[in-house]
Structure 1
Amino acid sequence: MWNTSGFYGSTTEIENQIISLVGDSATNAFYQNYYSTYITEEDIVQLSEWGFNSLRVPFHYKFFSTDTNTFINDGFDIIDPVLEWCSNNGIYLILDMHCAPGGQNRNDFSDGNGDEAGLWVHKYNRDWTVAIWKYIADYYSESQWIGGYDLLNEPVLEADFTSLDFREYYIEIVDSIRSVDQNHIIFIEGNWYANDFANLTPPFDDNMSYSFHHYIGPSTQTAWVSQYTNMSAAYNVPLWVGEVGENSNHWAYHKIKLFEDNNIGWSWWNFKHNGSISTLMGIEPPEDFTSILKHWSNLGPKPSVEKAQSGLQQLAEAYKFENCVPNAGLLAAFNDPDFSSTSKPFTEHRLPGMVSATDFDIGMNGVAYQDEIFEDANKFSGDSKAWNSGWTYRNDGVDILKTSDNVGSEYAIGWTMDNEWTKYTVHADSTGMYKISIRIASNVYGGELELLYDNSRIGEIVTVPNTGGWRSWQDVTVAEHYIEQGKSTLQLNVIDEEFNIKDIHFTFLGKPQTEDENYGNYPNPFA
Structure 2
Amino acid sequence: MKKIVLLVFISFSIASFGQGFLHRNGQEIVDGNGKNIVLRGLGLGGWMVQEGYMLQTGSFAGPQHVIKQKITDLIGAKNTEDFYDAYKVNGITQRDIDSLAAWGFNSVRLPMHYNLYTLPLEQEVVSGQNTWLEEGFEMTDELLKWCAANKIYLILDLHAAPGGQGKDANISDYDPAKPSLWESTANQDKMVALWEKLAERYKDNPWIGAYDIINEPNWNFTGTNQNGCDENSNAPLRALQVRVTNAIRAIDKNHLIFIEGNCWGNNYDGMFPLWDENMALSFHKYWNQNDVASIQKMLDYRTQYNVPIWLGESGENSNVWFKEAISLMESNNIGWAFWPMKKIENLAGVTSVKKTPEYEQLLQYWNNKSAKPSVDFGKKALMQIAENFKIENLTIRYDVIDAMFRQIQTTETKKYKHHSLPGKVFASEYDLGQNGYAYLDKDIANYDGTKFTKWNKGGMMRNDGVDIESCNDTMTNGFQVGFIDDGEWLQYTVEVKTKTSFDIAVRYASQASGGKLYLEDGNGRISETITIPSSGGYDKWKTVTLKNVILKQGINKVKVRFEKGNFNFNFLEFKKSNK
TM-score w.r.t. length of structure 1: 0.91
Instruction: Specify which structure has the bigger relative contact order, considering alpha-carbon pairs within 8 angstroms and separated by 6 or more residues.
Output: 2
Q: CA RMSD in A?
A: 2.0
**What residue is the counterpart of 2:415 in the other structure?**
345
**What residue is the counterpart of 1:362 in the other structure?**
432
CA distance in 2 between partners of 1:475 and 1:283 (Å): 35
* 1:431 pairs with 2:465: no
* 1:146 pairs with 2:208: yes
**What residue is the counterpart of 1:105 in the other structure?**
166
Q: How far has the Cα of 1:61 moved from its partner?
A: 0.8
**What residue is the counterpart of 2:44 in the other structure?**
none
- Distance change (3 Å), C-alpha of 1:280 and 1:466: same
**What residue is the counterpart of 2:452 in the other structure?**
384
1:231 to 289, 298, 301: 301
* 1:505 pairs with 2:539: no
3-state DSSP class of the match of 1:268?
A: strand
Q: How far has the Cα of 1:173 moved from its partner?
A: 1.2
1:173 to 214, 234, 244: 244
3-state DSSP class of the match of 2:258?
A: strand
1:51 to 59, 80, 104: 104
Measured against aligned partners, the alpha-carbon deviations of 1:396-436 in whole angstroms (never above 9, x if no partner) come to: 00000012334132111011111111111111123323221
Letter in 1 for 2:414: K
More off after superposition, 128-137 vs 285-294: 285-294
**What residue is the counterpart of 2:137 in the other structure?**
76
Alignment of 1:85-234 (within 5 A): 85-107=146-168, 108-113=170-175, 118-160=180-222, 162-219=233-290, 221-234=291-304
| Equivalent residues of 1:106, 1:116 under 8 A apart | no
Q: How far has the Cα of 1:119 moved from its partner?
A: 1.4
Q: How far has the Cα of 1:14 moved from its partner?
A: 0.5
* 1:472 pairs with 2:544: no
CA distance in 2 between partners of 1:377 and 1:395 (Å): 15
More off after superposition, 454-463 vs 126-135: 454-463
CA distance in 2 between partners of 1:147 and 1:402 (Å): 42
Q: What percent identity do the matched residue pairs reach?
A: 36
Letter in 2 for 1:495: E
Alignment of 1:217-366 (within 5 A): 217-219=288-290, 221-336=291-406, 341-366=411-436
CA distance in 1 between partners of 2:472 and 2:365 (Å): 24
CA distance in 2 between partners of 1:291 and 1:205 (Å): 52
TM-score w.r.t. length of structure 2: 0.83
| Equivalent residues of 1:120, 1:158 under 8 A apart | no
3-state DSSP class of the match of 2:528?
A: coil
| Equivalent residues of 1:360, 1:423 under 8 A apart | yes
CA distance in 1 between partners of 2:375 and 2:409 (Å): 48
CA distance in 1 between partners of 2:180 and 2:408 (Å): 48
CA distance in 2 between partners of 1:462 and 1:304 (Å): 56
**What residue is the counterpart of 2:550 in the other structure?**
482
| Equivalent residues of 1:428, 1:483 under 8 A apart | yes
Q: How far has the Cα of 1:269 moved from its partner?
A: 0.8
More off after superposition, 201-210 vs 281-290: 281-290
- Distance change (3 Å), C-alpha of 1:338 and 1:99: closer
More off after superposition, 309-318 vs 109-118: 109-118
Q: How far has the Cα of 1:474 moved from its partner?
A: 2.2
Q: How far has the Cα of 1:272 moved from its partner?
A: 1.4
3-state DSSP class of the match of 1:80?
A: helix
Q: How far has the Cα of 1:276 moved from its partner?
A: 1.6
Q: How far has the Cα of 1:117 moved from its partner?
A: 8.0
**What residue is the counterpart of 1:42 in the other structure?**
95
Letter in 1 for 2:245: V
Letter in 1 for 2:162: P
3-state DSSP class of the match of 1:241?
A: strand
More off after superposition, 193-202 vs 112-121: 112-121
1:450 to 518, 522, 544: 518
Q: How far has the Cα of 1:243 moved from its partner?
A: 0.3
3-state DSSP class of the match of 1:481?
A: strand
2:441 to 371, 390, 396: 371
- Distance change (3 Å), C-alpha of 1:245 and 1:371: same
Q: How far has the Cα of 1:330 moved from its partner?
A: 2.3
| Equivalent residues of 1:59, 1:95 under 8 A apart | yes
Measured against aligned partners, the alpha-carbon deviations of 1:181-235 in whole angstroms (never above 9, x if no partner) come to: 222111101110000111222221121111000113123x222322112211222
CA distance in 2 between partners of 1:254 and 1:322 (Å): 30
Structure 2: tracts of 5 or more residues without a match: 1-53, 122-129, 224-232
Aligned length: 508
More off after superposition, 330-339 vs 263-272: 330-339
| Equivalent residues of 1:277, 1:395 under 8 A apart | yes
| Equivalent residues of 2:323, 2:407 under 8 A apart | no
Letter in 1 for 2:447: A
* 1:60 pairs with 2:113: yes
Q: How far has the Cα of 1:300 moved from its partner?
A: 4.1
Q: How far has the Cα of 1:460 moved from its partner?
A: 3.1
More off after superposition, 427-436 vs 406-415: 427-436
More off after superposition, 343-352 vs 479-488: 479-488
Letter in 1 for 2:490: T
Q: How far has the Cα of 1:456 moved from its partner?
A: 4.6
3-state DSSP class of the match of 1:409?
A: coil
3-state DSSP class of the match of 2:466?
A: coil
Q: How far has the Cα of 1:337 moved from its partner?
A: 5.4
3-state DSSP class of the match of 1:66?
A: coil
- Distance change (3 Å), C-alpha of 1:308 and 1:153: same
CA distance in 2 between partners of 1:460 and 1:281 (Å): 40
CA distance in 1 between partners of 2:193 and 2:531 (Å): 70
| Equivalent residues of 2:547, 2:577 under 8 A apart | no
CA distance in 1 between partners of 2:164 and 2:248 (Å): 20
CA distance in 1 between partners of 2:179 and 2:215 (Å): 13
CA distance in 2 between partners of 1:254 and 1:226 (Å): 16
